[in-house]
């Protein structure tokens, strides 16, 4: 099977901006593009194939026809669902302060899996900030009281961010993307989110957006984050490219590449590769590649080459 180019799915959440249109060139009838789902087999938004023999079919349909082990890889057998969901996120305004459940809680309460994720900061305004865990360890009761008394922002850990920062958001970490941040998010294939605080915003229905305080208190780890806000690995200078390991965990492995001339990668039988182009242009195995493109390389495909001058994020499991 050939490399599959994917069409993104867009979400117009109220905090979103227009950079996915202006910077990435995406076309949509939506006025706001808060998120672009670049690799998704989730029920809330599935990618379709762009061109080739599977043109117009969903990625999930192709996987069902061709076989999960064959396309997603032998490691996919460890997951009863498609393993990851990858997004581009443009925050023109602050996102709600929120938390995601772990697998045990999410399966029991939401009937889907939990959500651990990473954020790679593609760009950020000079004053951009994120919420990442707590300033110091507090009790669940103190957390609940801070929500009720509207003092939550006083106990949360706010971090200044810049291009190239990497955040590992383990399930249970209270967090929020701040305004002015453009992010690539690689996460478990889940959409379970518990909103804790939303700045009093009104939703499209004219009512304050729903909060999920009880569930949030149940699942939150009320202590400072335990991970540095930087990639796991140092930059490695290669022949025609630079590479940086962003993260490696039991859910996914993510690498960042700055391609100056060419780069050869390989998708073995264990896992597919996903290539997300976040800047530049070039070719992938001779086919055109540009900023905003999303490619699914089936497991067992073997070696493939990326040529040109571009910046990419490559994910496997």
Report the alpha-carbon angle 71-76-80, nearest 5: 120
Express each pLDDT in 109-145 by its tens digit: 998 899 999 999 999 999 999 999 999 999 999 999 9
> How far, in Å, are 114, 125, 304 from residue 219 at the CA level?
10, 31, 42
What's the CA gap between 309 and 95, in Å, rounded?
Answer: 33
CA atoms in the 13 A half-sphere facing the CB of 201: 18
The residue among 33, 5, 7, 4 whose CA lies nearest residue 21 is 33
Strand positions, DSSP E, 108-211: 117-124, 129-134, 156-160, 166-169, 175-177, 181-188, 194-197
What is the second-level CATH architecture of the domain 236-316?
Sandwich (2.60)
Confidence tier at 283 by pLDDT (50, 70, 90): very high
d(CA 96, CA 200): 10
**Where do we find the tokens 């990851």?**
84
Instruction: Tokens for 192, please give them.
Output: 């379970």
Mean pLDDT of the chain, nearest integer:
96
Select from 15, 126, 1, 103 the least CA-distant residue to 57: 1
Model confidence at 208, in pLDDT bands (50, 70, 90)?
confident
Same fold, 4-219 and 236-316: yes
pLDDT value at residue 209: 84
pLDDT of residue 204: 80
Tell me what pLDDT residue 191 has: 85
3-class secondary structure, 76:
helix
Q: In terms of Cα–Cα distance, which of 129, 131, 177 is closest to 153?
A: 131
How big is the chain, counted in residues? 317
Contact residues for 283 (Cβ-Cβ < 8 A; gap 6+): 289, 306, 307, 308
CATH 3.40.50.300: does it fit domain 4-219?
A: no
Residue carrying the six token digits 């996915």? 20
pLDDT for 138-170, tens place per residue? 999 999 999 999 999 999 999 999 999 999 999
Report the chain's terminal Cα–Cα distance, integer Å. Answer: 19
Q: In sequence order, which ranges of the chain are alpha helices (DSSP H)? A: 19-22, 59-66, 68-72, 103-109, 140-148, 152-155, 213-219
pLDDT of residue 304: 98
Answer whether residue 248 shows pLDDT above 90.
yes
In this predicted structure, the answer to whether residue 253 has a pLDDT above a threshold of 90 is: yes
Backbone phi, psi, residue 32, to 5°: -110, 135
pLDDT-above-90 percentage for the chain: 93
Residue 205 in this model has a pLDDT that exceeds 90:
no
To which H or E segment does residue 9 belong? strand 9-11
Q: Is 303 helix (H, G, I), strand (E, B) or coil?
A: strand
d(Cα 146, Cα 136) in Å, to the nearest integer?
14
- For tokens 């490691």, the residue is 75
* Catalytic residue positions, numbered: 195
Confidence at 210, pLDDT banded by 50, 70, 90: confident
* Cα–Cα distance, 263 to 281 (Å, whole number): 13
In the predicted structure, residue 254 carries a pLDDT above the cut 90: yes
For the stretch 73-115, pLDDT in tens is: 999 999 988 999 999 999 999 999 999 999 999 999 998 899 9
- Is the pTM above the cut of 0.85? yes
- Answer for the pair 211, 196: CB distance below 8 angstroms, yes or no: yes
In this prediction, residue 202 carries a pLDDT of 83
Domain ranges of the chain: 4-219, 236-316
pLDDT computed for residue 227 by the predictor? 93
- 96: which DSSP letter? P
């Amino acid at each position: 099977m050939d490399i599959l180019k994917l069409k993104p799915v867009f979400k117009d959440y109220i905090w979103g901006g227009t950079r996915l249109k202006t910077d990435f060139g995406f076309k949509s009838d939506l006025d706001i593009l808060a998120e672009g789902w670049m690799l998704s087999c989730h029920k809330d938004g599935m990618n379709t194939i762009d061109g080739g023999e599977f043109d117009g079919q969903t990625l999930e349909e192709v996987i069902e026809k061709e076989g999960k082990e064959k396309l997603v890889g032998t490691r996919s057998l460890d997951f009863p669902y498609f393993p990851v969901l990858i997004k581009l996120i443009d925050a023109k305004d602050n996102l709600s302060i929120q938390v995601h459940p772990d697998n045990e809680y999410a399966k029991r309460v939401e009937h889907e899996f939990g959500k651990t994720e990473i954020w790679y900061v593609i760009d950020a305004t000079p004053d951009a900030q994120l919420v990442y865990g707590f300033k110091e360890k507090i009790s669940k009761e103190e957390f609940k009281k801070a929500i009720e008394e509207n003092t939550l922002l006083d106990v949360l850990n706010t971090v200044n961010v810049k291009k190239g920062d990497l955040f590992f958001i383990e399930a249970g970490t209270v967090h929020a993307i701040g305004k002015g941040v453009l992010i690539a998010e690689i996460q478990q294939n889940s959409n379970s989110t518990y909103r804790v605080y939303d700045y009093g915003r009104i939703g499209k229905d004219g009512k304050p957006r729903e909060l999920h305080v009880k569930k949030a208190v149940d699942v939150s780890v009320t202590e400072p984050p335990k991970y540095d806000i930087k990639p796991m690995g140092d930059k490695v200078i290669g022949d025609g490219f630079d590479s940086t390991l962003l993260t490696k965990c039991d859910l996914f492995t993510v690498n960042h590449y700055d391609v100056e001339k060419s780069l050869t990668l390989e998708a073995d039988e264990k896992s597919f590769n996903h290539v997300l182009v976040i800047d530049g242009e070039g070719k992938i195995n001779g086919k055109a590649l540009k900023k905003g493109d999303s490619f699914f390389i089936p497991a067992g495909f073997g070696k493939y080459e990326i040529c040109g001058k571009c910046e990419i994020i490559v994910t496997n499991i």
